[in-house]
Structure 1
Amino acid sequence: MIGYVALLRAVNVGGTGKLPMTELVRMSEAAGFENVKTYIASGNVVFKSKRSEGEVRSALEERLKEYAGRDVGVVLRTATELADTLARNPFSDSPGNRVTALFVNETLPTDPLDGVKGITNEEVRLGKRELFVLYPDGMAKTRLRIPSDRHGTARNMNTVAKLAEMAATVA
C-alpha cells in the first residue's frame, strides 16, 4: 500500500467549486482508497491505495467530474514525496505561512522565473515537481503571476507539514 496526498485545484476557493469534505471522503472510499482523511476545507485528502499514481489520479478525477460537472484538477504526491518537499524547502528560515509549494503535474520550466509577471520582492525557486515561492509581505496584496499556477495548486508550508504528518500515518 502506498500513502498518497491528493491536492485538488480550485475547490472551496472564493465561493466557487464547493465540495464538502465529507463528499470527498465518500468519493475516495468509493474509488477503493483506504484510511481516507481530509485536512481543512480546501481539497486536501490523504489515503492509501495499492494503485499507481496515474490510476489513483484518474479514479479521483472521474468521480470529481461526475460530482462537479466539470474537470477538477488533481495533483497527487506520495507520502514520501510530500515529506521530501517539506525537507527541500529553500526558505525554511521563513514563516510557513509566507512560503508556498506550487505543485504541478507537468514538467517545470528550467528557469523558475520563465514567464513570471508582477514580481516585486517575492522569490521563486525550482523544486523537483513543484516551485517554491516566498512571499515576504504575505500573499494578500501580491501581483505575482506564475504560468504554472494555471495547472497546479499551491499549499503553504504549514499545510504541507500537516499533510506530510498525516500521510506518514496512513502509509
Structure 2
Amino acid sequence: MSHVFLFRAVNVGGTAKLPMAELRALAAELGATEMQTYIASGNLIASPPGDPVAFAEVLRAAVRDRFGFDREVLHRTTGQLQDALREHPFEVENPAHSYVYFLSATPAATAVAAADAVERGGDEWRVVGDDLHVRFDRGTSQATLKTDQLVRTLGVVATARNLRTIAELSTR
C-alpha cells in the first residue's frame, strides 16, 4: 500500500516554493523509497521508513530546515484516498468543483455544529470522519463559502485536493 504525504499550501502564489525533484531527493535522504510526486502542489507518494505519521513530521522538519518555511504534512494511504472518493456525498457535475480537505483530526461535534453558521450560498460541505468534503456551486473562483473560515471553525489543519487530483493519487 502506498503512502501519500500532502503538504499544505506549497507553491501557491509565489510563496513556500518546494521543487518536487528536491522533495523526492529529501525524502530519499530520510530513508523513504519508491518516491514519486504528482503536480507541483506538494503531493509525495512514497514508502516511508517506519511509521508514516512520524515520517510526515520528520519530513515537515526537514523541509523547514532546508527550505526555510513550515507547512503541515498530512498523511493518507492510497486506500484512504479511494475511500474519500467513494464517500464524497455530493453529486459531481464537474470534478474540478469538488474537493476533499484532508483534516489533521476528526473535528469535535460542537465545532461541526458551530461551522454550520459559516455562509455557504450554493456551496455545500460535509465532514466525513477526518475529511471535509466540499462542492463549490460555481467553482472556487466564485465561491461564497470561505473555506479558511470553515476550517478554523472546525479547529483543525487541512489541505485540499480536487477529486481529479485525488483520483490520480489514489492509483499510484
Query: RCO (CA 8 Å, sep 6+): is it higher in 1 or 2?
Result: 1
What residue number does 2:126 align with?
125
What is the percentage of aligned positions where both structures have the same residue? 30
Give the distance between the partners of 2:55 and 2:93, measured in 1 at CA: 34
List structure 1 segments (4+ residues) > 6 angstroms apart after TM superposition.
Answer: none
Partner secondary structure for residue 165 of structure 1: coil
Classify the secondary structure of the residue corresponding to 2:106.
coil
Distance in structure 1 (CA, Å) of the matches to 2:108 and 2:140: 22
- Which residue is 1:89 aligned to? 88
The Cα shift of 1:71 comes to 1.7
Gapped regions of structure 2 (runs ≥ 5) = none
Aligned residues: 165
CA distance in 2, matches of 1:105, 1:133: 16
Residue 65 of structure 1, CA deviation: 0.9
State how 1:147-158 maps to structure 2 within 5 Å.
Answer: 147-148=150-151, 151-158=157-164
SS in 1 for 2:160: strand
Give the counterpart letter for 1:163 in structure 2: L
In the TM superposition, residue 107 of structure 1 has moved relative to its aligned partner by 2.7
Within a 5 Å distance, the mapping from 1:16-27 to structure 2 comes to 16-27=15-26
Answer with 144-153 or 83-92: which moved more.
Answer: 144-153
* CA positional deviation for 1:86: 1.3
Structure 2 CA distance for aligned equivalents of residues 37 and 63 of structure 1 = 18
Matched, 1:12 2:15: no
1:53 aligns with 2:52: yes
Structure 1 unaligned blocks of 5 or more: 167-171
Instruction: State the distance in 2 between where 1:161 and 1:27 align.
Output: 25
The whole-number CA distance in structure 1 between the counterparts of 2:15 and 2:84 is 28
- Return the offset for 1:145: 2.1
Q: Distance in 1 between matches of 2:133 and 2:3?
A: 20
Letter in 1 for 2:67: A
Q: Does 1:114 align with 2:117?
A: no
Between 85-94 and 70-79, the greater mean CA deviation after superposition: 85-94
Alpha-carbon distance, 1:42 to partner: 0.6
Distance 1:32 1:92, change over 3 A: farther
* Aligned counterpart, 1:169: none
Give the 3-state SS of the residue equivalent to 2:171 in structure 1: helix
The TM-score, its normalising length taken from structure 2, stands at 0.87
